[in-house]
């Protein structure tokens, strides 16, 4: 199991990927065509779910036809996870714990007037668009299979987040695009359900690090 510091570091790395650009995104696995081809091969062999896959392929086609692929759209997908994460943070406790350093004081002086979830989401959206090949990523047939199975795994692992995305207009089928950058926040959410002390430690490490970034 990852330590609180490791999870917080992964969260900070996701936010700060904006500085590493396209090659950095490749290195972090944000664009992984071999993975997508693996999903395509699995789709071909998965006769048990053939009807469901056809239905989800139709949903995906309608989604791509209906939406405009931009920062607002990706923000809606990311926001489901970040809003949940931010709502669990004990800001009163965090204000006490991070106030011992200058960066923490500066950060919390800014957070008193803004929504922490919005701040994190904006950084993650910027990170996504610094690394994604937006013009081609949805045009590759293999990505459809990846979208379908990643959505299905999310439904099994976290029905609440899956349903929120689907209720926003089948956005569960775009989860595969942001899975890697929201995964550390999903881990933190899971920890909050089982070990609140560890979750508070994750938040403290994360907010301490966030205070040192240019926000």
Boundaries of every domain in the chain: 4-212
pLDDT at 77: 96
d(CA 168, CA 145): 21
- For residue 105, count other CB atoms closer than 10 A to its CB: 14
d(CA 105, CA 208): 10
pLDDT at 63: 87
The residues of the chain scoring below 70 in pLDDT are 1, 17-51, 99-114, 131-142, 211-215
pLDDT at 106: 58
pTM, two decimals, is 0.79
d(CA 209, CA 104): 9
pLDDT at 105: 58
pLDDT at 53: 76
Q: What are phi and psi of 127, to 5 degrees?
A: -65, -45
For the stretch 107-143, what's the b/e string if a residue is b when 16 or more beta carbons lie within 10 angstroms of its beta carbon? bbeebeeeebbebbbbbbbebbebbbeeeebbeeebb
pLDDT at 52: 76
């Amino acid at each position: 199991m990852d330590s609180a510091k490791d999870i917080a570091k992964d969260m900070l790395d996701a936010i700060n990927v904006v500085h590493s650009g396209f090659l950095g995104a490749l290195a972090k696995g944000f664009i992984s065509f071999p993975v997508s081809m693996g999903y395509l091969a699995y789709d071909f062999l998965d006769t048990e779910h053939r009807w469901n896959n056809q239905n989800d392929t139709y949903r995906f086609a309608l989604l791509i036809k209906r939406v405009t692929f931009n920062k607002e759209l990706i923000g809606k997908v990311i926001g489901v996870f970040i809003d949940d994460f931010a709502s669990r943070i004990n800001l009163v406790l965090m204000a006490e714990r991070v106030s011992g350093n200058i960066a923490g004081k500066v950060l919390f002086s800014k957070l008193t007037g803004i929504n922490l979830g919005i701040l994190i989401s904006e950084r993650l959206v910027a990170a996504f668009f610094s690394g994604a090949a937006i013009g081609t990523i949805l045009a590759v047939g293999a990505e459809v299979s990846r979208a379908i199975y990643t959505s299905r795994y999310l439904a099994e692992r976290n029905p609440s987040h899956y349903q929120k995305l689907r209720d926003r207009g089948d956005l569960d089928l775009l989860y595969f695009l942001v899975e890697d950058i929201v995964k550390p926040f999903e881990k933190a959410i899971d920890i909050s359900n089982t070990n609140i002390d560890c979750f508070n430690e994750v938040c403290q490490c994360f907010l301490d690090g966030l205070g040192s970034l240019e926000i």
